[in-house]
Amino acid sequence: MKILEGSFQCEANTFCRQRTETEDFEVFTGDALLEKMAATPVFCEAGAQVVPLLYASALPGGMVSRKAFEHYRTIFIELIQKNRDADGIYLYLHGAMYVEGLWSGEEQLVKSIREVVGDGVPISVALDYHANLSDGFIKAVNAIQGFRTAPHVDHDDTERRAAKSLLKCIKRHICPAPVFVRVPYLGGDAATTDKEPFVTITKYLQHMDASEEVISCAFFNGQPWYDSPYTGNCAVVSGTDRQKCFQAAVKLAKTFWDGKENLKIEQAMSTDQAVEESLQNQKGVLFVTDSGDNTTAGADGEGTLLLRKYLEQNQKGVLVCGIHARKAVDELLKSEAGESRDIVLCRGQCEKQEIETPCRVILRKKGIVYGWAGDEVGEGVLVSCGNTDIVLTNARAAFTTPEHFKKMGIRPEDYQVVVIKMGYLFPKLREISNRFIFAMTPGISSNDFTQIDYQNLKKRVYPINNDITWEEIMEEAEVRT
């Protein structure tokens, strides 16, 4: 049994003006790829020969440039052409890779693979919980598994489930066609899986995992800052009985639809209220998440709106962390600790989130900026402007764990308020402090979807349109099926 294995990932925010380029991807090949992917041991235990393709992963950002996509797609296809005798293909993708001029990168990749291997080789995929699944993508694969946690802590479990789905297909000599039900809903950061309806949905997915008739099952929240007709929630099930799979997908979708009103953003406050409330904190560290400039959702991270608000207050014990400012950082790196410099952030800008902000700063420390996978992606500086400390980086980054702060020589616990470019608070930071404020700041990752300039989104979607009925959803699902 010969299985091909690879990964190609980037969560795209189509409202980001930057493009994700070839050099923005972290690349692994050969044995390094096999060691990185959690599906590998599952295949090896089944006695399979596992052939590494390519692992290319980028931080959430703007849509992937056509050049970058074609570069990596070519590598995938050339390797697959050399292994046409494969019994199955496993791919760990994101599900929200939007490619310049092509829309769904996942769809384009798997269609290219199908042109090489035909329809008789099963393809199983593992996807992020925030995947947006195009019709063409779903029709081109045979098994789809997705994260069941947000914030995400089940990456490896999802890989293993997708690997087992592929082994089922190979051993039974089947290539099932997944069925799906779309739910026109924009969830954003409200849709965390520790609350209903996701608790019930996860239990039902786990129940289906044990069924011999089910090859794969998943429910996706979608990525709302991705402008397409297929953006939104989707229940997708694959198995040996198509009608039963459709009924299961309907049950998942209906469970979500009936419970959607439970999804509220914790500790959500307006920008000014968030600043005022946070500065009253006197016990431990309190995180403030700058949701409109959330780099984990593909935003640029250059916004200075909250920085300006805290500078006006000039209160001690505040750290504004992770502002992307390449030119300023590169200049500050030439200075020594204790030196002062005049800098300008967002030069020439005057937008809701990005506003030209001149500062006279004192350099305190230099440090390393870490990426998602614990890799070094750039450099940063800790500076002081009055009583406010600021971390500036020369690479777009997300301070999602204590390790990210440690590499900058910083302890969040030394502050009363730490502002981060994030939406919901990530689990590792909750271990430091479960106290946070979700600042409803404007920007390209705003959770106020009415202010997002959608051009391609489906005409009717909740909560922009709150009069959508379940009957509308079912009518469309039945037509598709």
- What are the boundaries of each domain within the chain? 2-263, 268-446
How large is the average pLDDT for residues 382-409?
Answer: 95
Percent of the chain with pLDDT over 90: 94
Distance CA 40, CA 163 (A): 8
- Please give the distance of CA 223 from its chain centroid, rounded to a whole number: 8
**Which residues partner with 354 through β-bridges?**
none
Q: What is the DSSP string of 303-314?
A: --HHHHHHHHHT
Q: Would you state the pLDDT for residue 478?
A: 82
Q: Would you state the pLDDT for residue 371?
A: 81
Q: Is the pLDDT of residue 375 over 80?
A: no
* CA-based R_g, the chain, Å: 23
Which residue is listed with tokens 């979500």?
Answer: 256
Tell me which of 374 and 431 has the higher pLDDT. 431
Label residue 480 by pLDDT band (50, 70, 90): confident
How many Cβ atoms are within 10 Å of 273's Cβ, its own excluded? 13
Write out pLDDT tens, residues 84-119: 999 999 999 999 999 999 999 999 999 999 999 999
- Please give the distance of CA 340 from its chain centroid, rounded to a whole number: 37
Contact 384, 390 (CB under 8 A): yes
Q: Would you state the pLDDT for residue 368?
A: 95
How large is the average pLDDT for residues 143-165?
Answer: 97
Write out pLDDT tens, residues 44-74: 999 999 999 999 999 999 999 999 999 999 9
Residue 408 carries which DSSP code? T
Burial 142-165 (b: 16+ CB within 10 A, else e): bbbbbbbbbbeebeeebbbbbbbb
How large is the average pLDDT for residues 9-18?
Answer: 95
pTM assigned to the model: 0.94
3-state SS, residue 431: helix
Q: Is the pLDDT of residue 374 over 80?
A: no
Half-sphere exposure of 132 (CA within 13 A, CB side): 28
| 242-259 helix and 470-480 helix, angle to the nearest 10 degrees | 160
Q: Is the pLDDT of residue 255 over 70?
A: yes
Label residue 387 by pLDDT band (50, 70, 90): very high
Label residue 282 by pLDDT band (50, 70, 90): confident
Distance CA 218, CA 252 (A): 9
Q: Would you state the pLDDT for residue 318?
A: 98
Label residue 288 by pLDDT band (50, 70, 90): very high
Burial 243-263 (b: 16+ CB within 10 A, else e): eebbebbbbbbbbbbebbeeb
The β-bridge relationship of strands 376-385 and 388-393 is: antiparallel
Q: Would you state the pLDDT for residue 140?
A: 98
3-state SS, residue 263: coil
How many Cβ atoms are within 10 Å of 70's Cβ, its own excluded? 15
Structure tokens at 114: 């199908």
Contact 391, 301 (CB under 8 A): no
Q: Is the pLDDT of residue 305 over 80?
A: yes
Closest CA to 257 of 273, 222, 233: 233
Q: What is the DSSP string of 118-150?
A: -SSS-EEEEE-TT----HHHHHH-SEEEE---S
Label residue 373 by pLDDT band (50, 70, 90): low
Q: What is the DSSP string of 143-191?
A: EEEE---SS---HHHHHHHHHHHHHHHHHHT--PPPEEEEE-B--GGG-
**Which residues partner with 126 through β-bridges?**
92, 145
Q: Is the pLDDT of residue 481 over 80?
A: no
Closest CA to 184 of 469, 438, 430: 469
243: left (phi over 0), alpha (psi -120 to 50) or beta: alpha
Label residue 3 by pLDDT band (50, 70, 90): very high
Measuring CA to CA, how many Å separate 86 from each of 21, 117, 177?
30, 8, 19
What backbone phi and psi angles, to 5 degrees, belong to 347? -55, 130
Q: Which helix (H) or strand (E) holds 471?
A: helix 470-480
Classify residue 406 by burial, with Cβ atoms within 10 Å: 0-12, 13-18, 19+: middle
Closest CA to 380 of 415, 416, 406, 412: 406
Which residue is listed with tokens 């900026």?
Answer: 369
Distance CA 176, CA 240 (A): 7
Distance CA 468, CA 456 (A): 18
What backbone phi and psi angles, to 5 degrees, belong to 332? -65, -30
What rounded mean pLDDT belongs to the chain? 96
Structure tokens at 260: 């959607």
